């Protein structure tokens, strides 16, 4: 980045290599962290005259965060930038390039976590029943929707599934999620049934000469893009008469929320979703609390006019 001394830039790139090669972070995450750190370095050079990461003080780093607030960045963006700087500061200490962590006392903005949008059980039933007919694409779409809801997959995880990851006899599939971390996810009875039908009567009709082992195929015999999966969910939600916009991730949220409502253990849900921290999974408890309040408001006799 222009304006950033070579030494400061090289240390950021070294940190990026550590994140990628040693910690298995995705290319997207590494790129975002490096961009944040280059931005920080450029600001420190321009506003504080800093030429080396060893010169950066906690007060200077805090001034940068305040400047971000002046730019009216989203709280999530500011929090991510602080996370990148904290990780980098700890990296410098581990590598012996600084004796202290200059971010130790920094405090970022408090994040207000949004309650994820979910579908009701009735809406899910309508959506899963939407793909009609017995042609290859209808069988594929039915299997996709069933698997989305049955296993709580991310869009990228479902798009990248191969035949080898699926074990219908045992009722599970192996998923490679964020950071290439592997986890085992159950496949429910309805989803297994839809997948068996698709594999027997749907997928063979989509196979082309250069088709590989990807599970869900496009009309051209290749893998489905995330954009195509988004479109398919939207199309079938409209056909099901669900007025509000429905996105693939809402099936993942609904999967978790409905499991929790049914009494599933939060840590089990965490494992199935592939969350690194239980705190991330706990957002679904807010969904359940909101549902209980709504139910109380609707049905308690003292709430009726």
149 catalytic, yes or no? no
90 is catalytic: no
Exactly one of 51, 86, 90, 178 is catalytic; name it.
178
C-alpha R_g of the chain = 24
154 is catalytic: yes
Which of these is catalytic: 9, 183, 249, 291?
Answer: 249
Residue 51 bears catalytic tag: no
Which string of DSSP letters, residue by residue, matches 237-278? HHHTT--S---HHHHHHHHHHHHHHTT--HHHHHHHHT-SSH
Catalytic, 249? Answer yes
275 in catalytic set: yes
H or E stretch including 142?
helix 136-151
**CA dist., res. 173 & res. 186, Å (int):** 6
Taking alpha carbons only, the member of 195, 139, 131, 210 closest to residue 163 is 195
Catalytically annotated residue among 25, 80, 142, 154: 154
Pairing of strands 182-186, 172-176: antiparallel
Helix axes 27-48, 6-17, angle to 10 degrees: 160
CA atoms of 246 and 241, how far apart (whole Å): 11
Which residues are known catalytic residues?
A: 154, 178, 249, 252, 275, 284
């Amino acid at each position: 980045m222009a304006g950033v001394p070579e030494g400061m830039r090289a240390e950021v790139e070294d940190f990026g290599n550590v994140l990628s090669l040693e910690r298995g972070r995705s290319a997207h995450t590494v790129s975002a962290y490096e961009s944040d750190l280059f931005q920080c370095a450029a600001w420190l050079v321009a506003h504080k005259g800093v030429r080396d990461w060893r010169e950066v003080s906690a007060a200077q780093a805090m001034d940068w965060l305040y400047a971000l607030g002046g730019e009216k960045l989203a709280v999530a963006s500011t929090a991510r930038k602080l996370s990148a700087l904290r990780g980098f500061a700890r990296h410098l200490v581990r590598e012996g390039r600084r004796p202290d962590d200059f971010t130790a006392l920094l405090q970022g903005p408090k994040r207000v976590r949004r309650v994820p949008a979910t579908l009701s059980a009735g809406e899910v039933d309508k959506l899963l029943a939407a793909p009609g007919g017995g042609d290859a694409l209808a069988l594929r779409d039915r299997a996709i929707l069933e698997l989305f809801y049955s296993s709580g997959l991310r869009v990228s995880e479902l798009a990248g599934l191969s035949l080898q990851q699926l074990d219908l006899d045992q009722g599970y599939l192996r998923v490679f999620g964020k950071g290439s971390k592997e986890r085992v996810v159950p496949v429910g009875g309805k989803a297994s049934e839809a997948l068996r039908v698709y594999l027997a009567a749907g997928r063979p009709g989509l196979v082309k000469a250069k088709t590989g082992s990807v599970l869900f195929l496009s009309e051209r015999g290749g893998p489905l893009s995330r954009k195509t999966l988004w479109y398919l969910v939207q199309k079938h939600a409209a056909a099901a008469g669900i007025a509000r916009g429905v996105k693939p991730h809402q099936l993942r949220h609904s999967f978790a929320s409905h499991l929790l409502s049914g009494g599933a253990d939060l840590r089990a849900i965490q494992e199935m979703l592939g969350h690194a921290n239980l705190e991330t999974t706990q957002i679904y408890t807010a969904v359940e609390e909101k549902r209980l309040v709504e139910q109380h408001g609707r049905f308690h006799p003292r709430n009726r006019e």
